[in-house]
Structure 1
Amino acid sequence: MPLILFNKPFQVMSQFSAHPERETLADYIKIPNVYPAGRLDADSEGLLLLTDDGKLQHEISNPRHKQPKTYLAQVEGDASQEVLQRLRDPLNLGDFVTQKSEARLIQEPGWLWPRNPPIRERKSQPTSWIALTISEGKNRQVRRMTAAVGLPTLRLVRIAIGPFSLATHPLLPGEWREVDPLELER
């Protein structure tokens, strides 16, 4: 039962079925019968886990198993300590209230690959980088959280799921590697 770590490029769909306008996982991963454990929207980049084991897929993607997911978000505006605290606390997004999260201001990550195409830049509008760790992963949750506190997301990169991180398993966009699924239990 393979467990695949994949660095999903920007604008690639988190599906194997064909898409009329965009690349999909099938353009990068040629292993039969593996499926993503969770998703990243087309506008997001970064770590995606895939497996052929339904039980493992459920364990990774189900919020009850609390696999923390860490994202780096480049946001429009200055992220104050007050705004970061609002991100850490449960946040009402209208259709649900988030669980507590971890949020901190970081320097622009020098190791991060350039996005293609690059994000739009406005000289009159500063940007900030936030590291945000959540355990839920609802649809577009991080983007909705940053927007709710007045910091729209410009770039979103998932760098870790549970024990798997692009820091310890470096992959460029479009690259993948197989890992031992037992690492998830450790």
Structure 2
Amino acid sequence: MTTIIDHHHFIIFKPFGYLSQFTYNLKRNKKLLGELHDFPEGTMAIGRLDEDSEGLLLLTTDGMMSEIVRSKKVEKEYYAQVDGLITQEAVDKLKEGVEIGFKGTKYITRKCEAYIVTDKPDFPERGRKIRDERHGPTAWVSITVTEGKFRQVRKMTAAVGFPTLRLVRVRVGDVLLGNLQPGEVQQVEGFDV
């Protein structure tokens, strides 16, 4: 007899300051995803956003779906607010791949899509202020990758001379952040990535 398992899938706007996990065993108190919603047992984040990053996070109870979404076939798009007015030359370097450190070794990122975002994105204010214009100008850049090394997008912008101040994931495959607000959770039938 075959048992059919009903899996659950969610999209969430992970707020700044939360870990992309449900348990944390170290001594420091951390904000976890389970504080945002009553998720079913076995729910896992597909990929991660670091504590300082925000935006679209997919959650599921289906391990196979997690493998598909994390594959190099699925694009992940980020909007990065960078320190300074990023140049087209820097964006072109991002597109071709840049050298970053990963697990103690040098790594060249894969080619990616990138462009300067000319209109400031209409994201909700972040929980903690970044800084204001008195400290110099900032700019936004879109970066779409198919890999996800530890803090990769932040390392990429720093490698071309424009450190990331704020990072928001806006798309995973064909799933968009849309109008979700920080901490908002939406249950969906599945992911069309």
Q: TM-score, normalised by structure 2?
A: 0.88
| CA deviations over 1:49-89 (Å, ceiling 9, x no partner) | 010011111111133xx210111110001111101100111
1:75 pairs with one of 70, 76, 82: 82
How far apart are the structure 2 equivalents of 1:120 and 1:145?
21
How far apart are the structure 1 equivalents of 2:189 and 2:174?
11
Task: Select between 120-129 and 149-158 the one with higher mean Cα deviation.
Answer: 120-129
How far apart are the structure 2 equivalents of 1:51 and 1:85?
35
State yes or no: 1:116 paired with 2:105: no
2:116 pairs with one of 105, 112, 131: 105
How far apart are the structure 2 equivalents of 1:9 and 1:70?
17
Q: Which AA in structure 1 matches 2:153? A: V
Residue 2 of structure 1 corresponds to which residue in structure 2? 8
Distance 1:125 1:17, change over 3 A: same
State yes or no: 1:26 paired with 2:34: yes
How far apart are the structure 1 equivalents of 2:183 and 2:96?
34
Indicate if the aligned counterparts of 2:173 and 2:192 stay in contact, CA closer than 8 A.
Answer: no
Q: Which AA in structure 2 matches 1:24? A: L
Q: How many residues align?
A: 179
Identity of aligned residues (%): 40
How far apart are the structure 2 equivalents of 1:182 and 1:68?
13
Indicate if the aligned counterparts of 2:80 and 2:143 stay in contact, CA closer than 8 A.
Answer: yes
Q: TM-score, normalised by structure 1?
A: 0.91
| CA deviations over 1:27-66 (Å, ceiling 9, x no partner) | 0131221100100000000010010011111111133xx2
Q: Which AA in structure 1 matches 2:66? A: Q
Q: Which AA in structure 1 matches 2:120? A: E
Q: Which AA in structure 1 matches 2:56? A: L
How far apart are the structure 2 equivalents of 1:18 and 1:77?
35
Give the drift of 1:120: 1.7
Rg (Cα) greater in structure: 2
Give the drift of 1:178: 1.4
Q: Which AA in structure 2 matches 1:57? A: S
Indicate if the aligned counterparts of 2:175 and 2:191 stay in contact, CA closer than 8 A.
Answer: no
Unaligned runs of 5+ in 2: 1-6
- Which structure 2 residues correspond to residues 25-64 of structure 1 after superposition, within 5 A? 25-31=33-39, 32-63=41-72
Task: Select between 114-123 and 68-77 the one with higher mean Cα deviation.
Answer: 114-123
